[in-house]
Amino acid sequence: MDKIRINGMEFFAYHGALAEENKLGQRFIVDTVFYLPLQAAGETDDLDKTVNYALAYEVVGKIVLDDPVKLIETLAERIAHALLEHFALIQRVDVKIIKPNAPIAGVFKDVSVEIERHRSAR
């Protein structure tokens, strides 16, 4: 299956299980992969036959910047659901949430969660 990637979308938001995370906020980085057929878009040069990257960024941003959650797992689920809901051409989506400044006592690069969700057959 063909893929579109949007990597490194960075947002400052207030997600986290600890009170200080909800108060002070921190950076979150989101990577996505959309699996969809792209041949028609490539052959016709028609934006309606693909995913509008700018609109996809807005969908992700709205989820990340709105209603704070405790878990980045929840954030990933909400993003995956919203992308599948907004873009009928996407058959599968991978969402990775990276939390570079997780409150862990120790040296580490980042913490991340990655999920894969498929469009359900109706």
**For the packed helices 53-65 and 72-86, what is the interaxial angle rounded to 10 degrees?**
140
pLDDT, one tens digit per residue, over 94-111 is 999 999 988 888 999 999
pLDDT, one tens digit per residue, over 22-44 is 999 999 999 999 999 999 999 99
SS3 state of residue 49? helix
Give the pLDDT confidence score for residue 103 in this predicted structure: 87
* Amino acid occupying residue 90: I
Contact 97, 119 (CB under 8 A): no
Question: Out of 2.40.50.140, 3.50.50.60, 3.30.1130.10, 3.20.20.150, which CATH number does the structure's domain 3-118 have?
Answer: 3.30.1130.10
Task: Quote the CA–CA distance of 95 and 83 in Å, as a whole number.
Answer: 10
Contact 102, 112 (CB under 8 A): no
Assign residue 63 a region: left if phi > 0, alpha if psi is -120 to 50, beta otherwise?
A: alpha
Mean pLDDT of 49-70: 97
The structural domains of the chain, with segments of one domain joined by +, span 3-118
For the question of residue 49 being annotated catalytic, the response is no
Distances from the Cα of 96 to the Cα of 4, 36, 91, 100, angstroms? 14, 18, 17, 12
Query: Among 3, 96, 99, 109, which one carries the catalytic annotation?
Result: 99
Give the pLDDT confidence score for residue 120 in this predicted structure: 82
